[in-house]
A and B are shown apart, each in its own frame.
Chain A
Amino acid sequence: MTLTTGRELPITGLRPTGEPVAVWIGDADPTQDQSNQLRLRPPVSARTVSFITVAALLLAWSLAAHLQLVSPVFLPSQYAVAAKLVSVAQNGFVDATLLQHLAASLGRVFAALVVALAVGIPVGIAIGVSVVGRGIFDPILEFLRPIPPLAYLPLVIIWFGIGEPSKILVIAIAMIAPIALSAASGVRGVSQERVNAARALGASRAQVIRHVILPSSLPSILTGLRIALGAGWTTLVAAELIAATRGLGFMIQSAAQFLVTDVVIMGIFVIAGVAFVLEFVIRRLEAALVPWAGRD
């Protein structure tokens, strides 16, 4: 290999032979950027390291379970957990199949999302467009935002009982703040020139909100929706603490009471998997709904 410039020397010299050149996250081409000249390409990518980490954890779990280093009551093997996934999917656990638990939980989270969007978007817009709106809603949101759901759960139950509405409300409360705050920041970021353009084309104040401010802040609202779904999914187990008969959170808690650890672990993986899928769906939704974001 002939090295033509001194600049390439340290970079090429560190490339592991025979492997594709690892890409440093965030840097398209280090040779293009003067500040990168002295930074060396790492020999492996973060993705490879992540893959190795996960594999090592699974292996450690497998070994610990296989060699009975820990009692199966506390740490069942992966096979036991996988078998449980199949058996709960087919025969159910605490009077409902896995799909029914999943449907119950998703139903609550989405019902809460509808409530949170219906409340959060108008509140966010009110904060963004009007001083009075900001004066009214800012303190309320700032009060609600840092409170953990478990703290207001008892009050919600005292006020609204132990039925389904209370569970949905608890999740919705956790979702409203991120949606409203994202909507407000989206509204504040709307280009004044576009608002002026719309007004000079005969749009009324209401039409400016509907046809300029709302679509302009949609990318920001979708970001809020993503954060809100994360928050809602996190709140799910708390919401299903009281008087639930179905749901992933309820399933895990029931299993824990009977020390059925494999169901607990399986439930955790299902919750993580669903969160992952939701994140993916929302990113696709963003690409479909706001293809202009970041392009103008």
Chain B
Amino acid sequence: MTKLTLDNVTVHYEGQPQPAVVDTSLSVASGEFVVLTGRSGCGKTSLLNVAAGLVAPAGGRASVNGLPIAEPGADRAVVFQNDALFPWLTVRDNVAFALRMRGVPEAERRDRSDAVLTQVKLEGYGDRRIWELSGGMRQRVGLARALAAEPDFLLMDEPLGALDALTRERMQTLLLDIWAASGVGVLMVTHGIEEALLLATTVFVMAPGPGRIVKRIEADFGRRYAAGEPVRSIKADAVFVLARAELADAIFEGELA
């Protein structure tokens, strides 16, 4: 059981008059699916980047099991919105990237990346080039690349933001399948209200000016899906509809209509 903790974190970019995030705390443990949502400019991505070790907090503390986060590491693999894949590598070599950095031998890299590709339903695509794939497939390669690192935490910055609505729905259930099967802790940033609610075990609503957490909502819809309930029936459930309204209110609260 590992736990990623942000304690009273403040993010202040050089040259900015106001901090991006102020005095914010949250934690993600193995098996949890924590979603950060809120309007643009509320510091969701900044917070995720602190957890990733890509941004150093100006105040507060980021740690994993008590050890401070000083730099990025494969224990906290990141999935980016614009997939950030390496076009000079094949799909398989993209997925095997973290293993290669660790010096895992070629044959083992191949087996393990093919297994992860099967997990994201891309079996047989290992030898393809990145530019031959659709947006949804590329995002699945990005996910597979992060999973192949066998991270304790999966940090995802609007991973489905650039996808069309149908692909997005399919990716949501795929994410839930993988999360339930692997037991990783997930920290995800999204603009999608329904998406946040469906996936999360905990939703943090952030508000801008300066960025901070304004509401925390516990949910279990993802666990219900993992237990076998169809997404359609979950989304039609009155509990889901009410929670959705509550979440939307929290996001838009304080904003002039």
Contacts and interface: CB of A to CB of B under 8 A. Distances in A.
Interface in B96-144: 97-98, 100-102, 129-131
A178 to B, nearest CB: 22
Given A193-B82, A193-B84, A200 B129 contact: no
Interface size grouping (class) on chain B = 20 to 34
A291 interface: yes
B130 A296 contact: yes
A291 B90 CA distance: 12
Given A193-B82, A196-B84, A201 B130 contact: no
B28 to A, nearest CB: 16
Given A196-B54, A202-B73, A292 B88 contact: yes
A213 B86 CA distance: 11
B240 interface: no
A197 B71 CA distance: 12
B50 interface: no
Contacts of A212: 86
A296 B138 CA distance: 11
Contact of A202 (B74, B82, B155): B74
B212 interface: no
Interface in B77-100: 77-78, 80, 82, 84-88, 97-98, 100
B98 A197 contact: no
Given A292-B87, A292-B131, A200 B101 contact: no
Contact of A201 (B71, B131, B149): B149
A211 to B, nearest CB: 7
Interface string B140-164: 0000011001000001000000000
A47 interface: no
Nearest to A291: B129
Contact of B101 (A191, A194, A202, A216): A202
Interface residues of A, number: 23
A216 B77 CA distance: 21
B88 A200 contact: no
A211 B103 CA distance: 13
A201 B98 contact: yes
A292 B72 contact: no
Contact of B80 (A193, A216, A292): A193
A144 to B, nearest CB: 31
Interface string B176-206: 0000000000000000000000000000000
B76 interface: yes
B52 interface: yes
Contact of B131 (A197, A200, A203, A295): A295
Contacts of B52: 196, 200
Given A212-B86, A292-B88, A202 B130 contact: no
A199 interface: yes
Contact of B129 (A201, A204, A215, A292): A292
Contacts of A193: 80, 82, 84
Contact of B87 (A199, A200, A202, A295): A295
Given A291-B129, A296-B131, A202 B88 contact: no
A191 B84 contact: yes
A291 B149 CA distance: 27
26 contacts: A193-B82, A193-B84, A194-B84, A194-B86, A197-B85, A200-B73, A200-B74, A200-B78, A201-B74, A201-B77, A202-B72, A202-B73, A202-B102, A202-B149, A203-B101, A204-B101, A211-B86, A211-B97, A211-B100, A211-B101, A215-B88, A292-B87, A292-B88, A295-B87, A295-B131, A296-B131
Given A198-B86, A198-B101, 14 more contacts: A191-B84, A197-B85, A197-B145, A200-B76, A201-B101, A201-B145, A202-B98, A202-B102, A204-B101, A211-B97, A216-B88, A218-B88, A291-B129, A296-B131
Interface of A: 191, 193-194, 196-204, 207, 211-212, 215-216, 218, 290-292, 295-296
